[in-house]
Amino acid sequence: MDILLIIIGIILLAIGLVGCLLPIIPGPPIAYISLVLLHLTDKASFSMKQLTIWLLLVIILQIVDYIIPTLGVKKMGGGKWGNWGCLIGTLIGVIFFSPWGIIIGPFVGAFLGEALSGKSSHHAFKAGFGAFIGFLFGTILKLILCGWFIFCFFKALIY
């Protein structure tokens, strides 16, 4: 049974890593499940403190991943309209145009929000670019967390 759980865990790690790059797949939660499966085997054991902290990191990152693009809009000079546009564009992109909608939605939403508020197209483009940079930053954070989970998984197996 342990071998089966380890194989499933490795598959989930791979899916989780791919999920960091494909927004339609929730990468960190899937990678976290692999650690729980490994914990259920006799081959490795994590403390409840570790599992709880990792779970909290996954939850926080999943929430922050939707907020970071709006911070990018603000950092690039976007205003309230750009932030609302980014948020609405993210939601519409996720619901109707996944997986690419999560990448394009925040950009288009922030751009349209700033343009509708009367800002120049240059200013609106900067706000949209900020949303895109925010998306990339969120992706990097997810890759770091999944990379850490992969490291912990194989380290636990080896020792």
pLDDT at 33: 98
pLDDT, one tens digit per residue, over 3-62 is 999 999 999 999 999 999 887 789 999 999 999 999 999 988 899 999 999 999 999 999
Side-chain half-sphere CA neighbours of 59 within 13 A: 6
User: What span, in angstroms and rounded, lies between the C-alpha atoms of 143 and 27?
Assistant: 8
Tokens standing for residue 129? 């670019």
Q: Which domain holds residue 36?
A: 2-158
Q: What pLDDT, on the 0 to 100 scale, is given for residue 57?
A: 97
Q: Give residue 99's pLDDT band: very low, low, confident or very high (50, 70, 90).
A: confident
Which residues does 51 contact at the CB level (< 8 Å), separation at least 6?
35, 36, 39
| Mean of pLDDT over the chain | 92
* Residue 140 confidence (pLDDT): 94
Tell me how many domains the chain contains.
1
